Amino acid sequence: MNSLRIFSFFAGSGLLDLGFELAGYTIDLVNEYSPAFIRAYKYSREKMGLEKPRHGYSNIDINEYLGQRADELRNQILISRGGGGLIGFIGGPPCPDFSVAGKQRGRNGDNGKLSLSYVNLIIEQKPDFFLFENVKGLWRTAKHRAFYDELKAKLEGAGYLTTDRLTNALEFGAPQDRDRILLFGISSKTAGNEKKPSEDFPWTKYITYDLSDIKKRQWPSSEPFVENSGKECPDGLPEELTVEYWFRKNDVDNHPNSVNCFVPRAGRVRMTSVDEGDDSKKSYKRLHRWRYSPTVAYGNNEVHLHPYRARRLTVAEALSLQSLPKEFELPGDMSLTDMFKTIGNGVPFLLANGIAKTISDYLNGGADNAENHSL
């Protein structure tokens, strides 16, 4: 079996990386521009007892690897190759310029340009495989789709075989309705004549829920907010996809980040005026305890309220909705703005872990690379 070594870019606080690492990969380099996020990455790893990346933490703009630090990265990759195995790049360039809720600057926005930088880095440094992750707006919005197709064509022109899929976190058991476009590529040299990812990549192998079935279920609608009320999960629903299930699973009230919570200026009146399950507005969405959450996003004044308490979500609760292990925590002295931003930017752990296992099986010729049609 090939050892799989990861160079991570736009790593945030490590949610995507953790999914790969706990699937058996080794993280060799972590690149993240935000000092606050990379400090949180180090902190969470120490708390979970994970080893320091071989080449450490790189707190620089990715474009430096396309310029004066290109040889440094190239040498690090050579060192990592020395032990055998395959080298992979993973990353999700910042997405506000493609997000439906963003400013729609697209390829010309400061964040949009980073997608091209990531693709150029892959082409120049030639990893054996890569994962590119981004919001569905890059794939579904016509003006952004043209840019996405150009990026994909550049990679294919440089000798990568690719496959992509619009994937929802619910499919992997994370309790939130979150779509992401995932693009996987493998160099033609690594693939040889046997692998054709556009035909044989097993995207659904680790999917545990059929999205159309989930959406058809009769989930609870909104109902009057009653503080500290108790309700049992309705029969016939997959409880493990609900907000309350994950709050209990991660013991959020006793988590180290349970004390980290914004106190809104609007005060208690605003906190009690929204029905449980009313997530119809952009801001002041109240989650329903026995339903999955809307996309975990806390920027642009998006306020998510606790189902049955008169307050916003705590950091511990937000982490649970990203399906993270309860041992994962952020430093208590991190600003609340940075805490919620890094959580919202991250890839849900169960989605990351499922895709990581899929890639590993594919690269190592797993015994069962067939699509799972028994959903």
User: What is residue 33's three-state secondary structure?
Assistant: coil
What are φ and ψ of residue 242, in 5° steps?
-105, 160
If you search the block for the tokens 């009057």, which residue do you land on?
Answer: 224
Token duo for residue 131 = 């994962």
Token duo for residue 280 = 């119809």
The one catalytic residue in 11, 15, 90, 95 is: 95
Question: Residue 129: which residues within 8 A CB-CB, separation 6 or more?
Answer: 86, 87, 88, 89, 184, 185, 186, 187, 190, 359, 363
C-alpha count within 13 angstroms, C-beta hemisphere, residue 281:
13
Token duo for residue 93 = 């360039």
Is 233 one of the annotated active-site residues of the chain?
no
In 3D space, the residue among 226, 237, 234, 127 whose CA is nearest the CA of residue 184 turns out to be 127
- Any idea what DSSP says for residue 30? E
- The continuous run of DSSP H or E covering 352 comes out as helix 349-363
As a whole number of angstroms, the distance between CA 240 and CA 299 comes to 26
Sign of the C-alpha dihedral, residues 101, 106, 112, 116?
positive
Burial (Cβ within 10 Å: 0-12, 13-18, ≥19) of residue 82:
exposed
8 A C-beta contact, residue 48 and residue 328: yes
Token duo for residue 283 = 């801001």
In 3D space, the residue among 124, 95, 123 whose CA is nearest the CA of residue 107 turns out to be 95
Active-site amino acid positions: 95
